[in-house]
Structure 1
Amino acid sequence: MTEATTEVPPTATNATVFTFEEQATSSLALYGMSILCIIIGSYRSGQYIRKVISKKRLVEGSITMKEARKFPISASLVLFGLYLFFKPASERFLWVATVAKTLRVPDEYVQKINSTIITYTANSTVSSDPVEPLLTRLASKIPQEHVPDFIRAAALRAYDQLPTIGKSECMTLLTFLICFEGVSAFASLVKPFVTSFFKHAPLVPSFLKYNAPYLFSLKKGKKEMEEGDMEEAKNKDIEYIFKMDFDRHDLIAILMCSPILISHLYKRHWITNNIIGISFSILGIERLHLASFKAGSLLLCGLFLYDIFWVFGTDVMTSVAKGIDAPILLQFPQDIYRNGAWEASKHSMLGLGDIVIPGIFIALLHRFDNRVVQSTAESKTNQASLKGRYYFSVTVAAYMAGLFITMAVMHHFKAAQPALLYLVPCCLFVPLLLAVIRGELSDLWNYDEGKHVDNEENRKRVDSNKKNN
């Protein structure tokens, strides 16, 4: 969803010129990391879905046709909200005035907007604290005799002690949350090695060999209950607001990976950024489940238009990408040969959305190749037809071609490019063309894993099967 981009091209004031070797090295590094994420994530996706089905559970986090329709709109609202958040308040007002003129709003309303801008700009020079004028106005409307002096003094003292919460504080919190989630994703990739070590290494304490599970949840009753009834309530009478299950080895893996979190929060180095970004991408491809080929096609087409509009039509995408100082993209330095890996500072970048979005579609094709959603008997019956399937391999090659075109165009025009403009046609039309050639278009187009999606209808079916058994 975000764009692939390089640093600003050299000008008279910015005379750094990178050689072809430097640019090729950074591009190839991003190229290799993105393809690695997609291949590993796709294989892990097949294993994850197969595991969920074998345990007769439903897949959470699925993208159906309904979610695919809403996704570009929801993403646009979030992106534009972040854009307004990063813009200074006066610039927000100016943007509103410009839009009002474009939409041919009557001049009297445009003048009111302009006067609001002038008033706000004048007031902002008097006080930098937006809360203080509001408190002053409220205090002036309260009669003196209604509020004793000691209450006024206490209120002012309390106000002075309140921490200032502004844009920088919000960004710090957002960055911490993103980094923590990324390190948690990395810990989940490390966990199998931790478990294997504790099970096979000698002299390991027994409490580490025993991987105790934990469940942290928040439930809500669908009807009124007395105190204590929630614990024994039936599934039909409750719903989970929040549910997180983990085990002892998860906690150990997170503790082992926590230095990456601390290091990135303090240093913002490209290596820790890429560790978090790659972990995000692999886990995202693994856990974000496309329910059908149709849903995947609709999602790609919607985000194709989304990416083009927000990159070419406005400065929204580039402003947000530069404003968020968090690991939401992969980086590789172009000046690595000059300054070394630790001191390099001029980076090429590729957004995680340009990896995860095509990646979950390619993972769907991997599951189609292997008929992950079929039973064991059905899989044995179709072994002969499965041997010749290679939609996954062909689409990975198509993704590689699309990403190569993206980077070539980017370096040619020295400007940010909406990567999905080139990736979506390659990843969507190539498997469709292959299906036409092989006479499997109907099978591919109608491929559906909807019966394993966690929704109300499937939950009722699963509960009914459990009762019958």
Structure 2
Amino acid sequence: MAEQVLTTTPSPLEDLKEKNETIKPTFEEQVLAYSSLYSMALICIIWGSIRSLRFVQRKIARKELLDTSILTKDAKKFPITASLVLFGLYLVFKGTDNGILPYIQTKAGPYLPEPRNDSSPSMGTNLLNKVSNLHPLAAKAVEKAADYLPEFNKANVVYFLLLLLCWEGCNCLATILEPFFAFFLKRLPVGNRWPRRNIPYLLVLKRGKKELEEGELEKAAKKDTEYLISCEFNTHFLVALFFTSFVGISHLYQRHWITNNLLGIAFSIYGIEALHLSSFKAGTILLSGLFIYDVFWVFGTDVMTTVAKGIDAPILLMFPQDILRKGWLDASKHGMLGLGDIVIPGIFIALLRRFDHYVGSKKGKDAKSRYYFVTTVFAYALGLFITMGVMHFFEAAQPALLYLVPTCVLIPLLLAAIRGEFKALWSYSEEHLVEKEEEEAKKEQPKENKKEKKNQ
């Protein structure tokens, strides 16, 4: 997704209005829907934070650096990048008359497959003319194959995005559920054989940064090579992926809210685990920037709403508000919560989980227990509760980060000030665990040499 993801909030906590739906959900139905969204969000936050700590611990144990991390400079750019991505999607889904897709169709139309009917060819006019100059058999084969090319329109672009997101969602779900599958597979009475035995695999595609003789690439120094593709997996993951693929396939055909939530929860947990904030300052800058981003695009324009309605994909959690009347199969009027409202505060809360562990792991008389993670989880719950209350009162979509950012940032800072740990929290950094670019490493090397000379 994420390209990487991602993005932040797609129209948080918004009702999907149907054309023929006139009955408003009852208070009991709304409580059930929003309490379910509330519970799913908290589960993603807590589960993802626990996995984030384990992920960093594994990296430290292997003496590996984190190759993907959000530094302070990245946090400053993220809202701008997210805005550009969001506005680009808005241009795609803006409409049939003035969107970017009609513009592309106008310019490239002669080379794109045309709508299929009895009176027009299936290929573009210019492309068909070029094909006619080929050998008759080759031209006939190409023209026949063109009958199976999809039309270039909004529906097919959206379906292609859905296909990619479902595939990524199945991978995330398999990664999260792999320990559960491994637990049962290791207890099968098949001896030390597959599937009880977990066999690892590594698929690598790398290239040299300079000319190398044949056979030297494999053992070349790291500075002379770079990985284009590096995919590590094992047999237990493949078993998990086999079963989770049914969730993705079902969602492609049914678009049911249950499969949507399974994929959405997987995205949220894996996103909180994999997206690493390097410092408390970087997290504060990131949340502050996205606070402005969310308020502007929700209240100031129709961009967020248009994109959220245009992408029929698992980018939000939903729960029916008419489930008591229509049942869980036929329910169609949903309350929704954007994944950005979970992942963005989630990676900040995961940082505080790691801060608790780092400080709490110190031994000695001055060591004290820290509860910043638990406190910030309650702060997130408070902010989300305020969001739901305001949304219910005004009966309109609300930018959830408007309420989540102040609670998640100010409450732990207030706790740190009370405990006399404000400076320790504010200056907490994990940048020493981050893999730095060669240029940055060269800049910092003279500084380190000066420090060594002073110490000597």
SS of 1:331's equivalent in the other structure is strand
Residue 290 (structure 1) aligns with: 277
Q: CA RMSD in A?
A: 3.2
Residue 110 (structure 1) aligns with: none
Runs of 4+ in 1 over 4 A off after TM superposition: 8-11, 134-140, 147-157, 457-461
The 8 Å contact of residues 185 and 280 in structure 1, kept in 2 or not, is answered as yes
1:432 aligns with 2:440: no
- Taking a change above 3 Å as real, the CA distance of residues 148 and 77 of structure 1, as seen in their structure-2 partners, is closer
Q: CA–CA distance in 1 between the matches of 2:310 and 2:141?
A: 35
Comparing 32-41 with 363-372, which one deviates more in the overlay? 363-372
Residue 14 (structure 2) aligns with: 6
Residue 67 (structure 2) aligns with: 60
Which of 421, 432, 443 is 1:451 aligned to? Answer: 432
Scaled by the length of structure 2, what TM-score is found? 0.84
Q: CA–CA distance in 2 between the matches of 1:36 and 1:287?
A: 17
Which of 359, 363, 368 is 1:386 aligned to? Answer: 368
* Structure 2: tracts of 5 or more residues without a match: 1-8, 445-456
Residue 168 (structure 2) aligns with: 181
Comparing 398-407 with 238-247, which one deviates more in the overlay? 238-247
Q: How many residues align?
A: 423
Which of 354, 358, 368 is 1:367 aligned to? Answer: 354
Q: Deviations over 1:267-319 (max 9, x none)?
A: 11111111111111111111111000010001001111111111111111111
Residue 78 (structure 1) aligns with: 85
Q: CA–CA distance in 2 between the matches of 1:250 and 1:160?
A: 40
Q: Deviations over 1:341-387 (max 9, x none)?
A: 11111110000000000000001011111117x9x7xx224x75332
Q: Deviations over 1:152-185 (max 9, x none)?
A: 9965873564213423222222111111111111
SS of 1:91's equivalent in the other structure is coil
Q: Deviations over 1:103-138 (max 9, x none)?
A: xxxxxxxxxxxxx9xxx7xx99xx976x99x96579
Scaled by the length of structure 1, what TM-score is found? 0.82
Which of 300, 319, 342 is 2:306 aligned to? Answer: 319
1:164 aligns with 2:180: no
Q: CA–CA distance in 1 between the matches of 2:44 and 2:413?
A: 23
1:43 aligns with 2:50: yes
SS of 1:244's equivalent in the other structure is strand
* Superposed counterparts of 1:60-459, under 5 Å: 60-92=67-99, 158-159=142-143, 161-162=145-146, 163-166=149-152, 167-203=154-190, 206-371=193-358, 379-381=362-364, 384-387=366-369, 389-456=370-437
Q: CA–CA distance in 1 between the matches of 2:181 and 2:135?
A: 58
Q: CA–CA distance in 1 between the matches of 2:367 and 2:41?
A: 30
The 8 Å contact of residues 217 and 244 in structure 1, kept in 2 or not, is answered as yes
Tell me which amino acid in the other structure corresponds to 1:180: W
Q: CA–CA distance in 2 between the matches of 1:139 and 1:436?
A: 72
Tell me which amino acid in the other structure corresponds to 1:269: H
Q: CA–CA distance in 2 between the matches of 1:230 and 1:288?
A: 31
- Taking a change above 3 Å as real, the CA distance of residues 159 and 304 of structure 1, as seen in their structure-2 partners, is farther
Q: CA deviation at 1:48?
A: 1.4
Point out the structure with the larger helix share.
1
The 8 Å contact of residues 2 and 307 in structure 1, kept in 2 or not, is answered as no
Tell me which amino acid in the other structure corresponds to 2:297: W
SS of 1:209's equivalent in the other structure is coil
SS of 1:265's equivalent in the other structure is helix
Q: Deviations over 1:401-452 (max 9, x none)?
A: 1101111111111111111111001111111111111111110110000000
Tell me which amino acid in the other structure corresponds to 1:392: F
Percentage of matched positions with identical amino acids? 51
The 8 Å contact of residues 16 and 334 in structure 2, kept in 1 or not, is answered as no
Q: CA–CA distance in 1 between the matches of 2:165 and 2:133?
A: 46
SS of 1:229's equivalent in the other structure is coil
Tell me which amino acid in the other structure corresponds to 1:5: L
Residue 100 (structure 1) aligns with: none
The 8 Å contact of residues 169 and 267 in structure 2, kept in 1 or not, is answered as yes
Q: CA–CA distance in 2 between the matches of 1:314 and 1:150?
A: 51
The 8 Å contact of residues 3 and 354 in structure 1, kept in 2 or not, is answered as no
The 8 Å contact of residues 65 and 433 in structure 2, kept in 1 or not, is answered as yes
Q: CA deviation at 1:255?
A: 0.7
The 8 Å contact of residues 93 and 99 in structure 2, kept in 1 or not, is answered as no
Residue 24 (structure 1) aligns with: 31
Tell me which amino acid in the other structure corresponds to 1:380: K
- Taking a change above 3 Å as real, the CA distance of residues 138 and 249 of structure 1, as seen in their structure-2 partners, is closer
Tell me which amino acid in the other structure corresponds to 2:427: N
Q: CA deviation at 1:89?
A: 5.0
Q: CA deviation at 1:241?
A: 2.0
The 8 Å contact of residues 290 and 364 in structure 1, kept in 2 or not, is answered as yes
Comparing 202-211 with 216-225, which one deviates more in the overlay? 202-211
The 8 Å contact of residues 29 and 332 in structure 1, kept in 2 or not, is answered as yes
Structure with higher RCO (Cα < 8 A, 6+ apart) = 1
